[in-house]
Amino acid sequence: LADNEKEDVVLQLDNRISRLEGALRLEEKITASGRKIFATNGKKADFYTAVQECSQAGRTIATPRSEGENTAVLRLVQRYNTYAYLGIKEALIPGKFRSLGGAELNYTHWHAREPSGKGEE
């Protein structure tokens, strides 16, 4: 494709993505923070199913790295009146938590006496 044709294709794709994001925002299926988009299908699942479904969609389960990202996830939690799994797991050292990939957490906003690993962090 010529450069101008490539630009047209990119603009068309950008427009379609923007319209899809708008529709999903209206349905409150997605929310954003910065350049990240957090999404849900609204279905209840166990942790491992949620991780697998995110992976099949080419993404990962949410691991908030800032107050804004935490707030974006919280919006979805409030919308569906449920909890959300996060991409965080207890490390080999009890009471220490890491991302699913093993990285140290650089942002946490736990409830009092948390994390406990019991699902109410």
C-alpha 68, offset from chain centre: 12
Q: What are phi and psi of 113, to 5 degrees?
A: 60, 25
User: CA-CA distance, 21 to 12, in Å (whole number)?
Assistant: 14
- 40-66 exposure pattern, b = at least 16 Cβ within 10 A, e = fewer: beeeeeeeeebbeebeeeeeebbbbee
Angle at 103 between CA 94 and CA 93, to 5 degrees: 15
- Domains in the chain, ordered, with CATH? 33-99 (3.10.100.10)
State both tokens at 78: 């409030």
Collect the ranges in the chain with pLDDT lower than 70.
22-27, 117-121
pTM of the model: 0.74
Model confidence pLDDT, tens digit, residues 91-103: 888 778 889 988 9
pLDDT value at residue 117? 66
> Which residue in this structure is represented by tokens 């209840």?
44
